[in-house]
Structure 1
Amino acid sequence: MFGEHELRTKFIKIGSTKIHLLEASPGLVRYRRENVEKLIKTRDGEKLKVLPAPAVGYGVRLLMVKLREPIVIPPKDSLSGFIDVPMEVEVKVGGTTIDRFHVSREKYALYGTIEAGAIARYHVGNFGIDEPDSIGVLRVVISNPSAEWKTLEKLVMPIWNSTMYYSPERAYYPLTVVTLKNHIPEVNNTGKAPKEGLIPVGPGDALPNFLMRW
């Protein structure tokens, strides 16, 4: 699924989406996905790259995940686990993007107030200790350094210009740390791989910390 593919006749399946490559004539390969169709002139050694991308949709900068079950953390304690999340797929030849699409239903919501809020990609997700059987995965560490019990009901994180990681079958956002302090959760997209053995898409740079004011 994710990774490099020979430019020859074949099917590539990502979730319920199918990419069809068809050798149209010597030196030309037809790319098809639903109503998208392009002709690619082949070159020795050049491959089609199917890569995960953050779920920015129409250009949003935030991903907002409402937890189906809010998480309660004791004082001076932490919890690590996984959440199923939306992502997108970018298809490239050389350094050129020839297609980009989402693999789940697009939903958006207002984060914050009408006057000062922002539109975010929206998803209702499940938190679990074990990695979920989904295409998009987020590993999160929830830390409560305070002296009080804390509850986390949703996670809002910056995703614009975020790197991604992948295995052949799954896409991963970078390891994300949520710190519950001062009544305003602080979210850190670390840019680091959530586990060993994954392939990065771009440099693993951290994004500026984000304060969940609402």
Structure 2
Amino acid sequence: MGPLFFSMKTFGEHELRTQFIHVGERKIHVVENPDGTFTYRRDDLRVKILGGKYLSVLPAPAEGYGVKFLMVKLRERLAVPPGETVHGYLSAPVDVVVKAGNAPIDRFIVGREKYALYGEHSIGIIARYHVSCFHEKEPDSLGVIKLAVRNPTKEWKLVERVVIPIRNSVMFYSDEKAYYPLIILTTKEPYEVNNTGNPPDGRLKATHRAEPLPNFRMRWWP
């Protein structure tokens, strides 16, 4: 086993060497074996890596057990003036995918896992659930959503939650944080959410080719 090393970054490529990689409160341990192979460890999971030079730790949308939507409830409802667009940030849960080369060897959830039913009991949808403040500046959280709330009507509109399509969504990342694509909420009945597929910041890296997802109409509102 080589000398112990603590990686200074979370996401992106990590050189295969004996080291710890911290992802939120989760910890990955990579160990170099005497025969030159490497063992990947997380909790009870063990994967032997037989070659290559790098390990990739990448953010993934918070699909958890296979849900298609993320519902973020706001701690304080937003009152949006007519004809205006407001911009802000939300904290958000993320999943994490680890790859050796282009082969996924692990996927796990960061933080507390919550789900909720959105809509009527008979025809509602199960969504990953999270509660967040609406921040003017980027919050200090592992996962971040940049949100634009657009009110094209002549009336004041209230926003108390955002239901975001996330299945197969691209993600963006810096060394330390994960970002969903720019999300646009339009408050014209029915409220409509657009996962644009566009980066919230041009300096971020993408997990794969960025494409928009079909818009989601938020029925049963509020």
Whether these two folds match at TM > 0.5 is yes
Which residue identity does 2:82 align to in structure 1? P
Q: Show structure 2 runs of 5+ residues with no match.
A: 1-9
Give the CA deviation at 1:27: 2.7
> 3-state SS of the aligned residue for 1:139?
strand
Which residue identity does 2:24 align to in structure 1? G
The match for 1:36 is 45
In 1, distance between residues paired with 2:46 and 2:131?
33
Matched residue pairs, number? 211
- Alignment counterpart, residue 97 of structure 1, candidates 86, 101, 104: 104
In 2, distance between residues paired with 1:41 and 1:111?
45
Give the CA deviation at 1:111: 1.0
- 1:186 maps onto 2:192 in alignment: yes
Structure (1 or 2) with the greater strand fraction: 1
The match for 1:56 is 63
> 3-state SS of the aligned residue for 1:128?
coil
Q: Percent identity?
A: 52
Comparing 162-171 with 105-114, which one deviates more in the overlay? 105-114
Contact 1:7 1:42 in 2 (8 A): no
Which residue identity does 1:88 align to in structure 2? D
Which residue identity does 1:189 align to in structure 2? N
The match for 1:27 is 36
Give the CA deviation at 1:25: 2.2
- Alignment counterpart, residue 54 of structure 2, candidates 31, 47, 50: 47
Cα RMSD after superposing both structures = 0.8
> 3-state SS of the aligned residue for 2:219?
coil
> 3-state SS of the aligned residue for 2:193?
strand
Which residue identity does 2:88 align to in structure 1? G
In 1, distance between residues paired with 2:212 and 2:117?
25
- Alignment counterpart, residue 17 of structure 1, candidates 26, 35, 49: 26
Give the CA deviation at 1:26: 2.4
Partner deviation per Cα, 1:40-89 (whole Å, 9 max, x = no partner) = 1123xx31000000000000000001100111100001100100000011
Give the CA deviation at 1:114: 1.5
Which residue identity does 2:172 align to in structure 1? Y
- Alignment counterpart, residue 142 of structure 1, candidates 132, 149, 158: 149
Map 1:157-196 → 2, pairs under 5 A: 157-182=164-189, 184-196=190-202
The match for 1:207 is 213
Instruction: Provide the TM-score with structure 2 as the length reference.
Output: 0.93
Structure 1: 4+ residue segments shifted above 4 A = none
> 3-state SS of the aligned residue for 2:33?
strand
Contact 1:52 1:171 in 2 (8 A): yes
Q: Show structure 1 runs of 5+ residues with no match.
A: none
Partner deviation per Cα, 1:123-162 (whole Å, 9 max, x = no partner) = 1111111000000000000000000000000000100010
> 3-state SS of the aligned residue for 1:25?
coil
- Alignment counterpart, residue 65 of structure 1, candidates 69, 72, 95: 72
> 3-state SS of the aligned residue for 1:127?
coil
Which residue identity does 1:11 align to in structure 2? F
In 2, distance between residues paired with 1:2 and 1:126?
25
In 2, distance between residues paired with 1:36 and 1:161?
25
Partner deviation per Cα, 1:186-211 (whole Å, 9 max, x = no partner) = 00000000012000011110001110
Which residue identity does 2:91 align to in structure 1? D
